[in-house]
């Protein structure tokens, strides 16, 4: 049986790291990306051999990262899955975001994922089960203060992915499945940071802010990262045979 390869962008921490773990558990080889992926690499190497993990260090918005990715793919000549992921934008009011910050977010959160897909199409075509999943955010539905970048750019990416799906479907003979997953509140470093910053801006304690969050989730709790990791790995793998073109909210039922 031929090997399966999953590209995990932003895979050193949080949700991305958990997806990397889950794809390895499904016997995929992974191409592990982040700006500083070494600690995560060493962690994964405790359970998986050297040949299972190819390192792709670098910012996804840098041309050199894309070039190094294409060099790797030239060698293996196949790509099965892409997880589109990166850190979230800074949490601040819209009038404090500079023009250059907007340009940088546009590149990381919108343009680079599209460029990466464009440059990997021919390798995805060599897969029996080509799958793409982008991580977005609940903020695409619940417009959230101090989150204008996330509220807007992520939705643009979802619609771009739907367009790519429509345009590529024919040439992939219907095999390509593209989805987006919008996390609600997932317990990661990023969420801890988000809680601290938002509670400071709102002038309440982090614990009160957490209570406020949980009050508005029907499941009444923040999710463990393993719960979403498993779900995204399912969508990214051959196990998903029919879910396509969806933007799925993994949020425990947030009520607004
Ligand atoms: N956790 C939640 O509750 C929640 C809720 C809604 C939306 N989200 C969104 O879901 C995504 C993942 O969240 P998370 O909680 O797992 O975040 P996280 O713990 O901060 O992890 C982000 C990952 O992306 C990597 N990264 C950041 N910028 C990058 C770049 N320019 N190029 C390559 N890699 C980059 C980071 O590693 P390096 O630092 O090594 O680059 C890290 O591995 C984020 O976009 C976040 O905004 C999360």
Whether 132 and 84 have beta carbons less than 8 Å apart is answered as: yes
Regions of the chain with pLDDT less than 50: none
Tell me if 108 CB under 6 Å of ligand 1. Answer: yes
Q: CATH number of 5-185+224-250: 3.40.50.10480, 3.40.640.10, 3.40.50.720, 3.90.1150.10?
A: 3.40.50.720
CA 203, chain centre distance (Å): 31
pLDDT recorded at residue 198: 87
**Residue with token string 């060599």:** 126
The protein residue whose alpha carbon is closest to atom 6 in ligand 1 is 137
Distance CA 36, CA 34 (A): 5
Considering the entire predicted model, what is its pTM?
A: 0.97
Where in the chain are the domains? 5-185+224-250
Beta-sheet strand order (sheet of 81-84): 53-57, 29-34, 5-8, 81-84, 131-135, 177-183, 247-250
Tell me if 87 CB under 6 Å of ligand 1. Answer: yes
Ligand 1 centre distance from Cα of residue 87 (Å): 3
Burial of 199 (0-12, 13-18, 19+ CB in 10 A): middle
Ligand 1 centre distance from Cα of residue 2 (Å): 31
Tell me if 190 CB under 6 Å of ligand 1. Answer: yes
The protein residue whose alpha carbon is closest to atom 30 in ligand 1 is 59
pLDDT recorded at residue 122: 97
DSSP category for residue 185: S
* DSSP assignment string, 166-179: HHHTTTTTT--EEE
Tell me if 113 CB under 6 Å of ligand 1. Answer: no
Burial of 32 (0-12, 13-18, 19+ CB in 10 A): buried
Ligand 1 centre distance from Cα of residue 37 (Å): 12
Distance CA 162, CA 178 (A): 8
Among the listed residues 254, 251, 81, 111, the one whose alpha carbon sits nearest the alpha carbon of residue 182: 251
pLDDT recorded at residue 38: 97
Tell me if 227 CB under 6 Å of ligand 1. Answer: no
List the structure tokens of 20.
Answer: 């990397």
pLDDT recorded at residue 142: 87
pLDDT recorded at residue 1: 67
Choosing from 14, 66, 134, 144 the residue with most ligand 1 atoms within 8 A of its CB, the one to mutate for a pocket test is 14
């Amino acid at each position: 049986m031929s090997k399966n390869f999953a590209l995990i962008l932003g895979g050193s921490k949080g949700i991305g790291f958990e997806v990397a773990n889950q794809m390895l558990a499904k016997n995929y080889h992974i191409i592990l990306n982040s700006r500083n992926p070494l600690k995560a690499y060493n962690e994964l190497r405790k359970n998986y051999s050297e040949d299972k993990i190819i390192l792709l260090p670098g910012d996804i918005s840098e041309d050199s990262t894309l070039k190094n990715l294409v060099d790797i793919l030239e060698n293996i000549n196949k790509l099965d899955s892409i997880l589109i992921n990166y850190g979230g934008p800074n949490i601040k009011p819209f009038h404090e975001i500079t023009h250059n910050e907007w340009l940088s977010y546009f590149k990381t959160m919108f343009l680079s994922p599209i460029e990466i897909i464009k440059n990997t199409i021919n390798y995805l075509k060599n897969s029996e089960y080509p799958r793409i999943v982008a991580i977005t955010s609940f903020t695409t539905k619940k417009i959230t203060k101090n989150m204008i970048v996330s509220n807007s750019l992520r939705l643009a990416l979802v619609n771009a992915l739907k367009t790519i799906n429509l345009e590529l479907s024919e040439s992939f003979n219907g095999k390509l499945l593209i989805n987006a997953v919008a996390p609600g509140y997932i317990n990661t470093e990023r969420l801890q940071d988000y809680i601290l910053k938002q509670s400071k801006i709102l002038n309440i304690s982090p614990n009160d802010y957490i209570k406020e969050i949980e009050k508005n989730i029907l499941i009444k709790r923040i999710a463990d990262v393993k719960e979403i990791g498993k779900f995204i790995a399912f969508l990214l793998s051959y196990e998903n045979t029919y879910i396509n073109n969806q933007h799925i909210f993994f949020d425990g039922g947030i009520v607004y």
